[in-house]
Structure 1
Amino acid sequence: MDVTSFGIDHDTLLRGIYVSRKDTVENGVLTTFDIRMKEPNREMVMDTSVMHTIEHLMATFFRSHPLWAEKTIYVGPMGCRTGMYVIFKGDLESKDIAEIMKACYEYMANFNEEIPAAKSEMCGNYLDHNLAITKIECKKYVDEVLDCLNEANMTYPRQQG
């Protein structure tokens, strides 16, 4: 079975930005990024309301961005609630998206408006949001990870054997 994430050493994985996989589609490449906000099995995972709010804000940020809107394929939460997946068009590396990801997380950390599409007719679980905690989590990710991103936060640790 070839599931990339099952080969990652989650016991040593740090918070960061990782290339999860690259897929060739027709004559282009789609790059899936693992935006890891929590150290797996060592930190408390995020509440579903926070993950849901990040999903709405991150999707809004990228889909309205003048350069990244056309490159954005997907934004969504990880089932383990330790981060987000983002898929972009292009053969990209973590360093290629570090600046825009920092801008996105700063946008979310400073967001003070109504959560986009958090209405019953627009969202399947519109009551499950928490902007206050989302802002705290996003600021923490900027301060502790994105402001000091290095190779250890951008290269997956692989399982031994």
Structure 2
Amino acid sequence: MNTTDYIFDPDNPWICQEFILYRKDFDKKINEFILNENVFDIGLIKDYCILLDNAFSFQVPFNNLDDTIEYMHDLSAKRYFIDSFKSFWKENELVGFYWLNGNIVDKLVVKPNYQRLGYGTYLLTHAFKSIFSNNDYEYASLLCMLQNKNGLAFYRKYGLVDGIVE
């Protein structure tokens, strides 16, 4: 599918593009940002959810904050989520976070005022380094909603390829 020609379909708003990165093609270095990395903290769930909602504000239909909190609260009971969730802070400000599900970057979110400054690349590279630290994985993948034009452009600029696993 040529995602540059995508026209929003209200009957199916959740159409996604899969992106793939093979271990053999991963050569990124992490930028020199000074960010504090933290694990999931249930006490900060509202902060995470506000950022998640802001990052997905393009999305139709849009979730409300209560739904997002319920969604993330449900996730917090899953071992893979707790083990892989990483948040990144600049002083006391949440810059972004990601979580993994095996070799899949399940979510990657960067606060809007930190976008286009290299922080997304930092988080994505960090996520891929975490995935490829497990020798069982020959590739990593992620999904991006076709509604998310900025996300699609970012992942392509990063060097990810439209995915069908070889």
Question: TM-score, normalised on structure 1?
Answer: 0.31
Higher strand share: 2
